[in-house]
Amino acid sequence: MKPFFTWITCLCISTALLAQQKPAYILYDAKGKQVKYEKMIKILAEKDIVLFGEYHNNPIAHWLQLEVTTSLKEKRDLVLGAEMFEQDNQEALNLYLQGKIKAKGLDSMARLWKNYPTDYAPLVNFAKNNQLVFAATNVPRKYASMVAKGGFGVLDTISAREKQWIAPLPIAYDAELPGYKKMIEMMGGHGGENLPKAQAIKDATMAHFILQNHKNGSLSIHYNGSYHSDNYEGIGWYLKNKRPELKIGTITTVSQKDVTTLLEENKGRADYIICVPDNMTTTY
């Protein structure tokens, strides 16, 4: 009987220790099943493009972006890209990657997000140290603002040079996509039908420059706000619209009070779901 009691004692101790743990995150698959990091990396390494959806101010998501990128670099040649750099800042970003300007020069030449030093500089420096392409994929905010006020038609008025910084016109658009419809609902109808179009011009432009920089045989990793790729919409919709043969993997970030079980509302948002405590310290 002694071995039985020993086993019971060990089980009780293990359960008590598990209950006392405070995990910074738990990784789930789309069905809400916990999955190991190594398994995720193995599967993502077989993709053509990975869309990494983040909470912009979440330190766990940013840390995992660098970890995932480092792990995938061990298996594949990479091309990186990010929402956080607008396309008209590509030249400045290239100068930094090539070592022709310092970090201070990049800060003065490009419109960097306020959390760039803590959250995105590590990714850019990873690209620089490994001589990787890092694509500035987002539409300059000026044009997204124009679309929010006047719809896609206002883009016909900009110069040929400016059109090089956005997806080719005309912009494909499906107003019935749940994510775009939800935007209108969330705003209580304020902003009208043009509000999701401003989101769409960002999604379309990011997809366009992901594809423009993608190299056959390489894996492209793109960092963006989770709403731009959740539920396989947004950027993913535009990628599939242009290149349906590409294998796309997605990651998203969600927050919950209890991370030990994924809420039903968070299932299916992406292939892999990073669930973090809702009281996690933020970067801004």
Q: What is the pLDDT along the chain (284 residues), one digit of tens a residue?
A: 444 444 444 444 444 444 458 899 999 999 999 999 999 999 999 999 999 999 999 999 999 999 999 999 999 999 999 999 999 999 999 999 999 999 999 999 999 999 999 999 999 999 999 999 999 999 999 999 999 999 999 999 999 999 999 999 999 999 999 999 999 888 776 668 899 999 999 999 999 999 999 999 999 999 999 999 999 999 999 999 999 999 999 999 999 999 999 999 999 999 999 999 999 999 99
Cβ(167)–Cβ(202) below 8 Å: no
What does the pLDDT look like over 122-163, one tens digit per residue? 999 999 999 999 999 999 999 999 999 999 999 999 999 999
Q: What pLDDT sits at residue 22?
A: 87
Burial category of 267 from C-beta neighbours within 10 Å (exposed 0-12, middle 13-18, buried 19 and up): middle
pLDDT score recorded for residue 18: 45
Q: pLDDT value at position 5?
A: 45
Task: Look up the pTM and report it.
Answer: 0.92
pLDDT at 189: 62
CA distances from 212 to 78, 200, 227, 254 (A): 14, 18, 22, 30
The Cβ of residue 37 has, within 10 Å, a number of other Cβ atoms equal to 13
In contact, 195 and 145? CB cutoff 8 Å: no
* Domain formed by 24-277, architecture: 3-Layer(aba) Sandwich (3.40)
Instruction: For residue 57, count other CB atoms closer than 10 A to its CB.
Output: 16
pLDDT at 186: 84
User: What distance in Å separates the CA atoms of residue 146 and residue 151, rounded to the nearest whole number?
Assistant: 7
- Give the per-residue pLDDT at 232: 97
Hey, where are the domains in the chain? 24-277
